[in-house]
Structures are given as structure tokens and as C-alpha cells.
Amino acid sequence: MSYHSGFVALIGKPNVGKSTLLNTILSKKVAIATPKPQTTRDNIRGILTLDDCQIVFIDTPGIHKASIRLNELMVKSAYEAAGDVDIILMLISAEKGIEKSDRIIMESLKNYRKPKFLVVNKIDKLNKSELIEFMQGIDTDMFDEIIPLSALKNNNVSELIETIRRYLPEDLQYYPSDMISDYPESFMISEIIREKIMMFTNQEIPHSVAVYLEQMEERKNVVYINATIVTEKDSQKAIIIGKNGQMLKRIASFAREELQERLGKKVFLEVFVKVEEDWRNKRSQLMQLGYLDSDRNE
């Protein structure tokens, strides 16, 4: 039996459900997903291994107008991913319809000579006749396949996998069968903490926060985790800590609960908040956080 494998990029504006789709496909959380745009910052690799094929998905940060340095890097990494893969999945939301920002992305994808699928996500938001009407309104020329699905409800996701399988080149298995992400567990742990910050705080906070794991060690079946939340301003630090420390307590308690479930062990979580002015524009910090390759010349 011949083996097929390849790389697939998930491309689309923020909030169309790229991370949710990846998590559904892998039936495990490898990327954090929240109702807020720009939750995903890095290209995250999720690996699906089946009997006759291996699909490596690259979940990209949503493509949007780049404003400051971190956002620029996020957009750049999305288009870079599109260049490196075998198949491009462009996601749109059936709920929102095709918007101008979707069309801009579609235009730039036309330059890539490789199979492109249009994934129409969130079909659970439409009834049958609305969906038919929506599908008929799509200009299908540039896409090799159009697949409507609901990532959240796991509806028609298997159809997508089947279709990808048919387009994959014959190749060796890249990763071991039991590997579902090429990110270390420590990355997911800091991401889970960042997800709780994004869930509970207001608009101005999410995009200016980073989380580092300072320490993680296991003693007598208890995992001790020490993390630092970095913000840009004192005012943001104050919001994250909250009145009498209530907000930070809430963030830490929800994060701890999820981490306990994930690790299957009791977790002791300590979180500190500190201010580093303008961290998003600081190269060295971006590098330390893994947003830049130290050996790559920008």
C-alpha cells in the first residue's frame, strides 16, 4: 500500500474557526480558540496520522492588516505557511458571508500554484435553504474543492479529511504516529493561561499580553507551575490583577482546572504579572518568545 503525506495550511481572517477546526480534527486541544480575534499568534502544527496517510496542519494567525511589529510577523507567517504546504485551506464563515477581507486573502492566494480548498465553516448558523443560497453565491473558479462544514459541531469534517487525503502526494510519514503537535507541552500550558486572560479581560488587554513559563516541575504527583504574564503598561497589569487580585485569581483558577485535566495530575499554579514597556516591538523579546528565529535575517 502506498503512503501519502503532506502539509496543509489553514488560512483565513481572524475568527473564522481555524483553531477550532484543527482541534476538532485532532480531537484534542492543540491551539487555543476564543471568540476574540487574533488568539493564535504562531503557526501551530497539528498532526493527523491515519492508516494510509499523515496530514500535517499548519494553523496560522488570522490574516489581517498588519499594524505593529507583532501583527506584521503574524501575517507574514500565514503567507509563509501558504508557500510551504501541499494544500491550502481557505476558511470563511457562513455566518458572516464573504467579506472584503476574505476577498483580499483570496486574491493573494491566487499566486500559489497548488490545490486550494474553500472551507465554508459555521454552517450550523444557517438553515438548509440559507446554506444552499450561500453556496450558490460563491465564485468557485479559483478553488479545487468547496467544503461546507461546522468545526464546532463536527459536522462534515470527515468529508474534508477524505478530500485532503485524495490530494496528498505520495510520501513518507514525517512524524511518529503518536505525535499530534510539534509544540512542546510547555507551550500549550502558557497558551492555556493566555487563553483565560483573553476570555476574562476586556478588549485592550489580549493583544498586549505574553505568558512565559518560568518553571514547571513535578513532585509527588503534583505539578508545580510558575508563570509570568507580561503586559505593556501599568494600567494593563492592574486590569489583569483586578480589584483585590480577583481577576488574577479567576484566570489562575480556570487555567489550573484545565491544566489538571490535561495533565491528569494535581496542579499548583503560581502566576505573576509584570510590565515590560513596548514588548511587542522589541526584537529580543519576540525572539525569546519564539516569534522570531534567531538565525533568520529579517
Give the residues lining the site for ligand GDP (CB under 6 A): 12, 14-20, 33-35, 39-40, 62, 121-122, 124-125, 150-152
Query: Which lies closer to ligand GDP via its Cβ, residue 106 or residue 241?
Result: 106
Alpha helices in 60-200 (DSSP H): 69-84, 100-109, 128-136, 157-167, 185-200
Minimum separation from the CB atom of position 125 to ligand GDP (A): 5
We find the least distance from the C-beta atom of residue 39 to ligand GDP, in angstroms, to be 5
Taking CB positions, which residue lies at the least distance from ligand GDP? 17
Inter-residue long-range contacts of 197-204, CB under 8 Å, 24+ positions, other chains counted: 197/229, 197/240, 197/251, 198/32, 198/34, 198/36, 198/39, 199/34, 199/254, 200/247, 200/250, 200/251, 200/254, 201/239, 201/240, 201/247, 202/239, 204/236, 204/239
- CA angle, residues 166, 178, 83, in degrees to nearest 5: 45
Residue closer to Mg ion by CB (options 27, 294) is 27
Residue 225 binds which entry of Mg ion, ligand GDP, none, with Cβ cut-offs from 5 to 8 Å by kind? none
Q: Judged by CB, which is closer to ligand GDP: 57, or 143?
A: 57
Residue 6 binds: one of ligand GDP, Mg ion, none (C-beta under 5 to 8 A by kind): none
Output 32 or 164, the one with its CB closest to ligand GDP. Answer: 32
Nearest approach in angstroms of CB 132 to ligand GDP is 18
- Name the residues that contact Mg ion, by CB under 5 A: 18-19, 39-40
Q: Which residue has the cell 504579572?
A: 273
**Closest CB 134 distance from ligand GDP, rounded Å:** 14
Asked whether 197 and 211 are in contact (CB, 8 A), the reply is yes
| Binder of residue 115, out of ligand GDP, Mg ion, none (CB less than 5 to 8 A by kind) | none
